Each structure stands twice: as structure tokens, then as C-alpha cells.
């Protein structure tokens, strides 16, 4: 297959594609250099653009919160590394924010592997987000058009929710930890056989967790 042929978008649960990348903090091997850590790789259409600038400031302002979750941030666009460095300088000088996380300078190889060029949205990379776990598996993928800036609190929530789900073998309700009727409770995975379904209601009566029915049980961590 020719190198310039766009690859298919990786799927949830796939291993993050291996790649060597040039960043503003030197060369990196992904996902190898992030082994043992979660990371969020996010692409932006271009340096020195208004929406992207607001996003980078927002990510940097929450960088410490991501690190508290053992999660790193990695930016990316098809701009050259020199443009990334100059843009970082501009943000620091004019907005008093120092970008501390690396930004990948992509020649097109990363965009092709991750499916970040969408012809219907132009030739720049779309605003994509890949949340990758400590074992290098893709857990969440989000895509936004160029005209819509991302909500970093939601991305932060996604990382925290997935880590809680993994650790406790539970599912997370809508808007967790502020669900409309479950509040900050988490969901017990539904029963998959008759015996377990009957046992669920018995467990609820015993106070192990709460149930609306055998298929909708929840608990506070």
C-alpha cells in the first residue's frame, strides 16, 4: 500500500498505532513513551487561529488536573515545529500562559493513521480527541468541526470516569457525577442470565446496592 493512502480510522479498543513523531519537546515514540500513563492526543486545524488558541489555553489551564489522573496531553497539527514554537511564544507573551505539553508537528503521516483529514471539512486536521489508557488502548474518540471549540471539562470528566469504571468494574451514568436521578452513583453492569437477575434484587434488599429493577442497579462508591 502506498504511504500516501489514508488509513482507516482506528476503532475503540484498538491499540494506538505505533508512530515516531517530532514534537516541540523532541522526538517521541507513541504509545511506547506513554507506557504506564493515560494520554489525550488532540489535533487542531492550525496554529495562530482564534479557536485553537482558546483551546490550548484551556488545556494548559487544566494540565495539572490531567496529571493528577496520571494523564498527559499531546497536541498535534500539520504545521511545522517552528510554527508551533512561535505560536507557543505568542501565547506566553500575549496571554501569559506557558504551554508545557508537547505539540506534534505532523507531515501527514499521523493524520493518515488516525483519519484526521475529513475532505468535507477542508484540508486541515479536524478537532479530534483520542483518549488512550495506560496500556496503550484507545478508549474514547471524539471529533469536532473546525468552527466548534472543545469542552475541556468534558474531556477531563471522560478520563476520570473511564478510570473509575475500570477500577470498580462499573458503568457510568449520563453526566456523571451529576446524573439527573442517580446523582454521583455508578451503575452495576446488567445481569446477563436469569439466576443473576433474581440475585440482584436479593442483593438490593440486603443493602449491597440500590435497584429500580434487576437491570438498573446502582451504588455510591
Name the residues annotated as catalytic.
52
Taking the mean position of all CA atoms in its chain, how far away is CA 85? 24
State the Cα–Cα distance between residues 149 and 126, nearest whole angstrom.
11
Helix 152-168 vs helix 50-61: crossing angle, to nearest 10: 40
State the Cα–Cα distance between residues 185 and 187, nearest whole angstrom.
7
Answer whether 79's CB lies under 8 Å from 107's CB. Answer: no
Closest by CA position to 136, among listed 7, 27, 37: 37
Closest by CA position to 39, among listed 164, 153, 139, 150: 139
What are the backbone angles phi and psi of residue 120, rounded to the nearest 5°?
Answer: -70, -10
Sign of the dihedral defined by the CA atoms of residues 48, 129, 63, 107, in that order:
negative
Q: What are the cell numbers at 164?
A: 473509575
Closest by CA position to 39, among listed 105, 111, 101: 101
Amino acid at each position: 500500500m502506498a504511504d500516501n493512502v489514508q488509513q482507516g480510522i482506528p476503532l475503540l479498543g484498538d491499540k494506538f498505532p505505533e508512530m515516531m513523531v517530532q514534537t516541540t519537546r523532541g522526538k517521541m515514540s507513541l504509545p511506547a513513551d506513554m507506557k504506564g500513563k493515560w494520554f489525550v492526543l488532540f489535533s487542531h486545524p492550525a496554529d495562530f487561529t482564534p479557536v485553537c488558541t482558546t483551546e490550548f489555553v484551556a488545556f494548559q489551564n487544566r494540565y495539572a488536573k490531567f496529571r493528577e489522573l496520571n494523564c498527559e496531553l499531546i497536541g498535534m497539527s500539520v504545521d511545522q515545529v517552528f510554527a508551533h514554537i512561535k505560536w507557543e511564544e505568542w501565547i506566553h507573551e500575549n496571554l501569559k500562559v506557558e504551554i508545557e505539553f508537547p505539540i506534534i508537528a505532523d507531515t501527514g503521516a499521523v493524520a493518515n493513521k488516525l483519519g484526521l483529514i475529513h475532505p468535507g471539512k477542508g484540508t486541515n486536521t479536524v478537532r479530534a480527541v483520542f483518549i488512550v489508557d495506560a496500556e496503550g488502548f484507545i478508549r474514547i474518540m471524539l471529533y469536532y468541526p473546525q468552527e466548534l471549540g472543545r469542552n475541556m471539562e468534558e474531556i477531563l470528566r471522560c478520563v476520570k470516569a473511564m478510570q473509575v469504571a475500570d477500577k470498580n468494574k462499573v458503568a457510568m451514568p449520563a453526566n456523571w457525577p451529576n446524573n439527573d436521578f442517580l446523582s454521583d452513583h455508578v451503575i452495576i453492569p446488567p445481569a446477563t442470565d436469569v439466576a443473576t437477575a433474581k440475585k440482584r434484587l436479593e442483593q438490593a434488599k440486603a443493602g449491597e446496592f440500590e435497584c429500580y429493577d434487576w437491570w438498573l442497579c446502582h451504588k455510591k462508591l
